[in-house]
Amino acid sequence: MQKTALIPYAHLPRAHHNGHVLTSTIDVLGAAHWLLAERAPQPGGDVLPFDALVVSVHPGGTVELTELSALRARWPHLDRLPDSGFVVAASRARPYEDANQVQVFDALGRETSSFCVGDAVEHLLVDEAGHIWVGHFDENPAGIRRWSATGQLAWTSDGARIPGLFDCYALNVSGTAAWACPYTDFPLVEIRPDRTDQPVRVWSNRVRGAKAVAVHGERVAFYGGYREERDRLAHGELTETSVEPTNVGLLTLPNGPAPGRRRVVSRGSRIYVQAEPFTAWDVFDLSS
């Protein structure tokens, strides 16, 4: 089976390797961000407000540090806003702290607002316009929603006729559009809420279980799957109504092995992969 090696993309500066990586992401402009704390969260313990550091590595290698005060998320999601602020969200919304699930920080690291987007957050990605896209896993039937940075619901998948949307397995946000591949039917879905004629398009798809998706023109690639297909990279071509498979291979780290434990971020034609110990991002680019 053909193997495709990821390309090194961004590294956490060694001076910060002693911090605990709470989460990490790649923003819509391609900058890498790490959210660091002094220590790992304690299982079962209360989440007290704590301070954290965002280490940002921009394309070209420029490093930027932002201190965030009084975070409250035990297992957070992170992304950057167009005004250079940050949004941090807890994966789970506890009934007694719903209003604090999502915290918005300005460019100086000061909290400016907080709100709730609902329990069971699988993906949180900010687009170029500053909309916050949230994909939920199956403990929340909300599916996929788009929020403003002030907590106003701007779009919801309710009534969008996306077949089998019980869990947002893969979410790709690029520009102001989103692509998704949800469980259980795994269609490829394009979402453009600002397009009046056809805000949602759906293609049937035979690739099951992908955790990331990349799209470039009429080409698409799905990464991940169940069990032995965990490292699968499946390519396809878009027709009018379906994704037609073209070839299947494996995606590996730059030095050859499979990634093992990892997190993934999908942005346009790119799938970014961060393997344990989560200090480096590598990239696959469908447009290359």
Q: What local confidence, expressed as pLDDT, does residue 40 receive?
A: 76
Contact 22, 37 (CB under 8 A): yes
| pLDDT for residue 34 | 98
Which burial class, exposed, middle or buried, applies to 98 when counting CB atoms under 10 A from its CB (0-12, 13-18, 19+)? middle
In order along the chain (288 residues), what is the average pLDDT of each group of 10 residues? 95 97 98 93 72 97 97 93 97 79 97 96 98 96 96 95 93 98 97 93 98 98 97 98 98 95 98 98 97
What is the C-alpha separation between 164 and 161, in angstroms, rounded? 9
Residue 188's pLDDT is: 98
* Stated pTM of the model: 0.96
Nearest in space to 114 (alpha carbons), one of 171, 159, 71, 176: 71
- Using alpha carbons, select from 197, 254, 256, 208 the residue that is nearest to residue 230: 208
Largest distance between two CA atoms of the chain: 51
- pLDDT score, position 90: 95
Residue 47: the pLDDT is 66
Are residues 209 and 225 in contact, defined by beta-carbon separation less than 8 angstroms? yes
Q: Which residues contact 5 (CB under 8 A, 6 or more apart)?
A: 252, 253, 254, 256
Predicted confidence at residue 32, as pLDDT, reads 98
Cα(first)–Cα(last) distance of the chain, in Å? 20
Q: Where are the domains of the chain?
A: 3-285
| One-character DSSP codes across the chain | --EEE-EEEEE--GGGTTSEEEEEEE-TTS-EEEEEESSPPPTT-----EEEEEEEE-TTS-EEEEEEEEE--SSEEEEE-TTS-EEEEESS--GGGGGGSEEEE-TTS-EEEEE---S-EEEEEE-TTS-EEEEE-TTSTT-EEEE-TTS-EEEESTTS--TTEEEEEEEEEETTEEEEEEEET--EEEE-TT-SS-SEEEEB----S-SEEEEETTEEEEE--SGGGTTEEEEEEE-SSBEEEEEEEEEE-TTSS---SEEEEEETTEEEEEETT--EEEEEETT-
pLDDT of residue 46: 62
Q: Give CA separation, 252 vs 49, 216, 228, 229, 255, in Å.
A: 38, 21, 14, 13, 8
Which architecture characterizes domain 3-285 according to CATH? 6 Propeller (2.120)
Per-residue model confidence (pLDDT) at position 74: 81
Best CA proximity match to 216, nearest among 273, 284, 268: 268
